[in-house]
């Protein structure tokens, strides 16, 4: 839930977009299937798959400019 919180207002639009965009659906599924880390968090924000996916979402306009960096920090 921490990562969903980081997505903030972008979460619901991404969820809706995932119904018609396979790349966004894959990202949302990756979030859903994440295995908790030893510290209890579900996602490693330095994982290249997470970083890459957020950067692609930003480039595609699915999240606002600068949001990938905000979410990751």
Tens digit of each residue's pLDDT (9 = 90 or more) over 3-62: 889 999 999 999 999 999 999 999 999 888 887 777 766 788 899 999 999 999 999 999
Supply the pLDDT for residue 32: 87
pLDDT of residue 39: 73
CA 35/CA 65 separation, integer angstroms = 29
Residues in the chain: 73
3-class DSSP state of 26: helix
Contacts of residue 64, defined as CB under 8 A and 6 or more positions apart, other chains included, come to 10, 58
């Amino acid at each position: 839930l921490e990562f969903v919180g980081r997505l903030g207002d972008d979460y619901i639009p991404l969820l809706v977009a995932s119904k018609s965009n396979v790349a966004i659906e894959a990202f949302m599924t990756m979030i859903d299937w994440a295995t908790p880390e030893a510290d209890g968090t579900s996602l490693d924000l330095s994982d290249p798959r997470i970083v890459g996916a957020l950067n692609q979402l930003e480039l595609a306009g699915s999240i606002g400019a600068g949001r990938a960096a905000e979410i990751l920090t």
